[in-house]
Structure formats: structure tokens, C-alpha cells
Chain A
Amino acid sequence: MASKILSVDDSRTIRLIVGRALRPYDCVLCEAGNGEEGLAVAAREKPDLILLDVTMPVMDGVTMLTKLKEDPALKTIPVIMLTAESGRDNVIHIARLGVRDYLVKPFKEDQLIEKLSRNLTLKKKEAVPAPVPAPAAAPQA
């Protein structure tokens, strides 16, 4: 079964880059633009993993993570932080809330795939065989 990943980031650019990195893999990508939307999508879709930004409007990533960990139905979903913030106190606070991993922006797509692969099984999509051209009709004599 395809893995389901939820990307919570207010930047469409980051969500596009995550989508591009995951394109070769058999997985379903759900998206949310802030923590509040992220919680709603997480409750509805029950993703296998969440990629979470910190600084977002409406509800930031730390608040979303706190609420997620308080919810018995969602607290076991692994979370990977995907953020430009790597300040000491922030990282320690977030680690204590319980994240599986932490990737600091800017990131390379293969770094993202490596971190994801440590936490779920990412299968490459099977190559679709190229259509075999129909044999040309024999010319009429």
C-alpha cells in the first residue's frame, strides 16, 4: 500500500519541492498551509508521516505538534520537522515534544528522501512499459 505523507508548510514552494522529491515514489502526498489545517488533515487522512514547518501563520508548527501529541488518535504519527529554525532552545523544546527527525532548510531532495526512508517504506513506482507500436499493415499487392 502506498505511504501517505502530510506536508504542513505555508510555502507553496516547499510543498512543490517535497512533491517533486516524492514523484518517483509510490506515495500519496497531502498538504496543509498552517498548523490548524494540518491538524484537520491529519485527523481526516491519518497520514503515515508528517513533515512540519515551524513558522506559519494561524497556527505555528510547535503548537500543532503539541496538540498532535495530546491527541490519542494522532500522537503516534511520526513527525519530521522541516524548517529553517535550528536555534538551540527551539530544537531542544521541539525534541522534547517528540519528533522523529529534524531537517534544516535549505535541504537537498535526497536528504529528505533519506530521512523519510528511515521512518517509512518508500517504494519506487514501477516503470510503466512503453506501448508497443502496432505492426504496420502489409502493403496491398
Chain B
Amino acid sequence: MQNGANYQELSRRYGFAPKLESASRLTQLVARQDSDVDEIVKVINKDPALRDRLLRVANPDAENAAEYAIETVEEALLRNGVGCAMVLAMGTPLAMALIKTAQTMFSAKLEMIDRNLAEPLENEHLLGTIGFSGKVAGAVYLRMNLASARIAAAEILGMNPEEMTDANEIRDVVGELLNIMAGNFKSNLCDAGLDCKLQPPEVKRSTDSQSPVVPGGGLERMAFRTDKAHIFVDVTANPWSSED
């Protein structure tokens, strides 16, 4: 009988992978608005990947860590605000979900790279968008060059890229990639008390590589590469734009 089972029991029963505790904790802290900055600093400092990303965002002109003018999490939060940590916390589960999806569904080792080092987006590329609304509002954008999208779709469906001639099929695969990422991301937000609903994904060709930032929110821009494809993911969110 499953009535009364708690989440830990169900996680064990269903064999769920453990969640990213630092990202969940950070999302909870930032969502509270009245959290102590020291507490936020402590959580970020415990997660080297999160710390590195925050410092990279705080030092936009630096080529590498040796050139950082802002070297501590405290300074970075002062400069960028606590909202920046929230967007980073949101980016983490998205990035992890995308990396896991690539590994699981097309056996590709996806590596997160500096956006400036990524192969530039072609003028016309494939853009997938999924919005979310509720206690937090925003959107996730996924962009791929057409050739990259075709390769990824072929790998996921176990076909040769030359066989992928149906544009709808490629769009469906990209939409599902976005769905999986956003579903994992939404679960993290809901677990942090930020209940929200996902809108249906939309995938289309686009020539605009700018992602609109939700009013009052921040934007996290990430890039990933495999040996065959580059993927760009942007997330914008405002955790203090409650509809409730």
C-alpha cells in the first residue's frame, strides 16, 4: 500500500537518482527573500562548480580565473545581487539534466564550456522555448545549429544523420530534450517551494540569438559541446514575481 509513503521511501522504491542538494538548498534560501547572505555564501562555497560559475559571471571580462578581480563568493554576491545566485542555482539542475540526457539517450559526453569558446550560432538555427509560471516565472531557451540538431536527433533515434530528413522529427526530438531538462528543473523549483507549471515547448527556426529576460529577473547563459554538436541553453527567471 503506497498511502502514507514519504518521498524518501518512494525515491528508494523507484530507484531515483539523488538530487543536487546544493542547488535545491540554494533555491530554497534565495526564494525566501529574507535569507541571511552568510548562509547563501556557505552553500555556494560547498559546491565548487556553483562557486566557479558565480565567479565567472562576476568577472565577465576575465579570460581565466587568474584574471579575476572579484575572487570571493561574498564579493560576487555584493556585485551581482542574490538574484544572480538564484539563476545560477536554477542553471545547475538544467545543466545536469542536459548532461545526463546526452549521456543516457545518445551516449554523448557533453561538456559545459565557456560560451565564448563555443562554435558560434548560425544566423538561422533551431530554437526551443519552454516557459514556466507560478511562484516563479521565466523561460528556458535551447538553441542548436541545424546540423547539430540533426546529428543529436539521429543519435537519439538510432539513425544516420543522412536519414533525418523530416524537419518535424528533428523538432520533436529537440522539444523532448527541452522537456526532459525543464521537467527536472521544475521538480527542483517545486521542491524548493516555488510551485510552477511548465508551458508546452515550442520549437522553431530562428535568426534571433538573444533570449528575452523576464522582467525583474536574471539570465544565465550556458554552452555545451560534444565532439559532434554544440548546444546553447539560456534560463531567465524571476523568483519574486509570484502570480499567487
B97 partner residues in chain A, CB cutoff 8 A = 84, 106
A12 partner residues in chain B, CB cutoff 8 A = 169, 172
Q: A95–B172 contact, CB under 8 A?
A: no
Render B16-27 as a binary contact track against A, CB cut-off 8 A, 1 for contact.
110000000000
Question: Main SS of chain B's interface residues?
Answer: helix
The B1-27 residues at the A interface (CB cut-off 8 A) are: 2-3, 5-7, 10-11, 14, 16-17
B66: shortest Cβ distance to chain A, in Å?
37
B47 at interface (Cβ–Cβ under 8 A)?
A: no
Residue among B3, B16, B104, B179 facing the most chain A CB atoms (10 A cut-off):
B179
A44 at interface (Cβ–Cβ under 8 A)?
A: no
Question: Main SS of chain A's interface residues?
Answer: mixed
Bound-state Cα–Cα, A98 to B2, Å: 7
Q: Residues of A within 8 Å of B, CB-based: how many?
A: 32
A126 at interface (Cβ–Cβ under 8 A)?
A: no
B135 at interface (Cβ–Cβ under 8 A)?
A: no
Q: Residues of B within 8 Å of A, CB-based: how many?
A: 37
A55 partner residues in chain B, CB cutoff 8 A = 179, 183, 198
Render B182-222 as a binary contact track against A, CB cut-off 8 A, 1 for contact.
11101110110001001010000000000000000000000
Q: B180–A84 contact, CB under 8 A?
A: yes
A19: shortest Cβ distance to chain B, in Å?
10
A73 at interface (Cβ–Cβ under 8 A)?
A: no
Q: B: which residues have CB within 8 A of A?
A: 2-3, 5-7, 10-11, 14, 16-17, 97, 100-101, 104-105, 156-158, 169, 172-173, 175-176, 179-184, 186-188, 190-191, 195, 198, 200
Q: Report the 3 A-B pairs with minimum CB-CB distance, sorted nearest first.
A: A84-B183, A87-B190, A87-B187
